[in-house]
Amino acid sequence: MTDADIATAIRARLARCAPGTTACPSEVARALSADDWRDLMEPVRAVAARMAAAGELEITQHGEPVDPSTARGPVRLRPANPVVRR
């Protein structure tokens, strides 16, 4: 599994997010490997962190953007600058 494969899977999952919603990194890991998804959690988080640094997505906790290098515990992914429809 390459970083490019993981980034493609993250982009695909985020493309399916309804406006204002997020995705769990575990959803990406499970899409990549139903059996070994737990082993992919750290690589998914690492690729997501690089994508966040590039401005492609945001990593959040409790709905607020967080620094992935200091975030501990469950995080969520959302497209950068999400569009919230009212």
Q: List the beta bridge partners of residue 86.
A: none
pLDDT of residue 1: 87
Write out pLDDT tens, residues 15-56. Answer: 999 888 999 999 999 999 999 999 999 999 999 999 999 999
pLDDT of residue 86: 55
Contacts for 52 with CB less than 8 Å, ≥ 6 apart: 58, 59, 68
pLDDT of residue 81: 74
All domains of the chain, ordered by start, with CATH?
3-79 (1.10.10.10)
Q: How many CB atoms lie within 10 A of CB 27?
A: 18
Please report how the helices 3-15 and 25-32 are oriented relative to each other, as an axis angle in degrees rounded to 10: 120
